[in-house]
Amino acid sequence: MIDFNRSVRDTSRAVERLAMVETQIRARGVRDRNVLRAMERVPRHQFVPADQQGQAYGDYPLPIGQGQTISQPYIVALMSELLEIRPGCRVLEIGTGSGYQAAVLAEMGARVWSLEILPSLAATADRLLHRLGYRSVAVRAGDGYAGWPEEAPFDGIILTAAPVEVPGPLLDQLAEAGRLVVPEGRHLQELVLYTRKGGKVARREIIPVRFVPMTGRAEKP
């Protein structure tokens, strides 16, 4: 038997997703077609708690439990665009959270290695990503400070929690011509883009942001 109510909900959410991309993302200047297409396709409502699904396509972050959040859609899109992902890119994500950012990167054609310091969140995200068919994402529970050295170097590295400054091991795992996007700072945070070229690393501040702090080794002096 066809579940008409579910079909209507799915259609409604697809419309909400398209509106989200047009009014929150494209309207703010994100132009990468690969990013826009991924944001149109990934079912954001699947990555939030059931009681938050009606707000999944709103212009704000949402709580996902354990003091963590799923980022505002525009910020997800902006960070994805800054990475300049193309199919086949190898990307390291620090802070899996709900798995939404990893899904967007996978939808863009990246192969993603994602670290989450909270084991229960890592397990939940891993199950969801596999259920939705994102087989190019590997999720592991652990402290992201040291990165994933056995899979390095990475074309892109993205942090979805804010350290006071980017951990040195992550910069070391950035490939030549690679790009690292990170919210930096404790109370006042800036979204920062690091690029490696000719063995040198350049730093560029993008916009002020607000993320949960990076925990674990990053909290220590």
Given this model, what pLDDT does residue 1 score?
Answer: 36
Judging by beta carbons within 10 Å of its beta carbon (0-12, 13-18, 19+), is residue 31 exposed, middle or buried?
A: exposed
The better pLDDT of the pair 181, 5 is held by 181
What confidence tier does 9 reach under pLDDT thresholds 50, 70, 90? low
Catalytic member of 7, 12, 71, 136: 71
Handedness of CA 79, 212, 143, 136 (dihedral sign): negative
Mean pLDDT across 119-133: 97
CA distance 55 to 202: 38
- Looking up tokens 């652990």 gives 142
* pTM score: 0.93
Q: Over the Cα atoms of the chain, what is R_g? A: 17
Mean pLDDT, the chain, whole residue set: 94
Q: How many Cβ atoms sit within 10 Å of the Cβ of residue 128?
A: 17
**In a 3-state reduction of DSSP, which class is residue 36?**
helix
Task: Locate all alpha helices (DSSP H) within 97-184, ordered by sequence.
Answer: 100-107, 119-131, 168-172
Active site residue 71: yes
- Looking up tokens 């040291």 gives 146
For 26-54, the pLDDT digits (tens) are 999 999 999 999 999 999 999 999 999 99
Q: Which of 51, 49, 105 minimizes the C-alpha distance to 76?
A: 105
For 43-99, the pLDDT digits (tens) are 999 999 999 999 999 999 999 999 899 999 999 999 999 999 999 999 999 999 999
Q: What is the largest CA-CA distance in the chain?
A: 61
Length in residues, the chain:
221
The answer to whether 38 and 25 have CB atoms below 8 angstroms apart is no
Q: How many Cβ atoms sit within 10 Å of the Cβ of residue 218?
A: 20
